[in-house]
């Protein structure tokens, strides 16, 4: 069985833009890594055998703006979550869950094991140690995104 492969930046852009119905610009970025002053959402994707086969890390901006755009939330409230609150609202977390669920399709390429969303750890939540240990894997793509009308954030897709 072949392994999960990383998507091209264009595929990430196209999927996000189609999902949220807004232009999304994507460019190379720095790795997204959680830190006390940088809350990060982590989506965990698993194979049918329940082994982790991919992770999606989004900083607070990417989390708030992709989820907010999907849920048609006012951009100002999403910007407040990033710039003032430092956390996502319940509605933003629900919308982000749908965003990362749809992004699982990026890993479902011919010959690769099927990937499905197993769990979303919202920005600022505690991560299990085994997941935290996978975040620095070298097989990754790191992107900066800009959601039209909302703002900028960063996203990393990681294959442990």
Q: Rounded to whole angstroms, what are the CA distances from 2 to 36, 39, 107, 112, 127?
A: 37, 33, 12, 5, 28
Domain presence at residue 2: no
State which residues form the domain around 51. Answer: 9-29+40-158
Phi, psi at 138, each rounded to 5°? -85, -20
Domain presence at residue 144: yes
Domain presence at residue 35: no
Domain presence at residue 17: yes
Residue-by-residue pLDDT tens, the chain, 160 positions: 468 999 999 999 999 999 999 999 999 999 999 988 899 999 999 999 999 999 999 999 999 999 999 999 999 999 999 999 999 999 999 999 999 999 999 999 999 999 999 999 999 888 999 999 999 889 999 999 999 999 999 999 999 9
CA distance 56 to 143: 11
Single pTM value for the model: 0.96
Q: H or E element: which one contains 146? A: strand 140-147
Domain presence at residue 3: no
Q: Rounded to whole angstroms, what are the CA distances from 139 to 46, 74, 90, 93, 124?
A: 16, 35, 32, 27, 24
| CATH classification at residue 115 | 3.40.1550.10
Domain presence at residue 91: yes
Report strand pairing: 40-46 vs 151-158.
unpaired
Domain presence at residue 89: yes
Sequence-ordered alpha helix ranges (H) in 2-138: 9-20, 60-70, 75-80, 90-103, 129-134
| 28-74 residue pLDDT tens | 999 999 988 899 999 999 999 999 999 999 999 999 999 999 999 99
Domain count, the chain: 1
Domain presence at residue 69: yes
CA distance 96 to 64: 7
Q: Distance between alpha carbon 157 and the CA centroid of its chain, in Å?
A: 7
């Amino acid at each position: 069985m072949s392994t999960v492969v990383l998507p091209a930046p264009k595929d990430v852009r196209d999927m996000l833009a189609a999902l949220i119905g807004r232009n999304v610009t994507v460019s190379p970025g720095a790795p997204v890594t959680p830190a006390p002053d940088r809350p990060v959402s982590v989506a965990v994707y698993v194979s049918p055998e329940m082994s982790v086969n991919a992770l999606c890390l989004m900083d607070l901006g990417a989390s708030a703006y992709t989820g907010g755009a999907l849920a048609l939330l006012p951009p100002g409230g999403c910007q407040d979550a990033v710039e003032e609150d430092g956390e996502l609202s319940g509605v933003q977390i629900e919308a982000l869950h749908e965003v990362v669920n749809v992004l699982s399709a990026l890993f479902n390429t011919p010959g690769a094991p099927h990937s499905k969303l197993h769990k979303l750890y919202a920005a600022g939540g505690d991560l299990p140690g085994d997941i935290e240990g996978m975040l620095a894997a070298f097989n990754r793509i790191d992107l900066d995104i800009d959601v039209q009308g909302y703002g900028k954030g960063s996203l990393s897709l990681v294959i442990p």
